Amino acid sequence: MSDAAAPRGSNEARDELLRRVRAGLADRPAVAAIPRTYRRLTEPGTDVTALFAERVSEYQATVQRTTAGDLPGAVAGILAARGVRRLVVPQGIPDAWLAGSDVERLGDDPPLASSALDQVDGVITGCAVAIAGTGTIVLDGGPGQGRRALSLLPDYHLCVVEADRIVGTVPEALALLRPTRPLTWISGPSATSDIELNRIEGVHGPRTLDVVIIEPPAQA
């Protein structure tokens, strides 16, 4: 066997292959930089609150817009209409949000067992950010949101969204979020479809989602 035909180590073979590739590409023109001019900001003049409410409604969620002063009454009315009697309330939820409600409030410290979460009537949370363009609510486990299981196991979720947390686009939302946080992205009630496109709700999260948007008081 000649030296040219002798087997070589894997590193030698790799280096030889790369040498040939580089030689073959030596006379090729340089590749121009690929433009990445994605739209990152909301179009001027967009009412992100109105757009968010519209998009959330399209996901078969119920949306109500109110002010901070009227929020307790709005929350109490929604919970009564849904027949909620036992509600999980994560740490950080302001007492004022439930001032008008007589529901039994369940804390999550120490953490409730999964079986207990499955038996409650629902959960109330705030959110980290909301995206108008997609009608998406993002939770990151911060104050007033609790751990992920709280918004995944109960069959009902009432989410209170402060208007100043609503942005127009996904890139705007990503700029405000920390990727190391436990992010939960919610676009309407949990649902899926089978091969015949029959919609089934409540498969891997709440079957029912109500959203209350807190808007600033109207200017006099």
Position 25 scores a pLDDT of: 81
How far is the C-alpha of 155 from the C-alpha of 211, rounded, in Å?
Answer: 15
Q: How many CB atoms lie within 10 A of CB 111?
A: 13
Q: pLDDT grade, residue 188 (50/70/90)? A: confident
For 120, list phi and psi in degrees, rounded to 5: -75, 165
In 3-state terms the chain splits into helix, strand, coil percentages (rounded to 5) of 30, 20, 50
Q: 197 in the Ramachandran plot: left (φ > 0), alpha (ψ -120 to 50) or beta?
A: left
187: which 2 tokens? 């676009």
179: which 2 tokens? 């990727």
| Interval 201-207 mean pLDDT | 72
How far is the C-alpha of 91 from the C-alpha of 98, rounded, in Å?
Answer: 13
Q: How many CB atoms lie within 10 A of CB 123?
A: 28
Q: Is the peptide bond before 44 cis (omega within 30 degrees of 0)?
A: no
Helix extents (H) in 31-150: 48-58, 71-82, 114-119
Share of the chain above pLDDT 70, in %: 86
In tens, the pLDDT along 32-42 reads: 777 767 667 77
AA letter at 140: D
Residue 220 pLDDT > 60: no
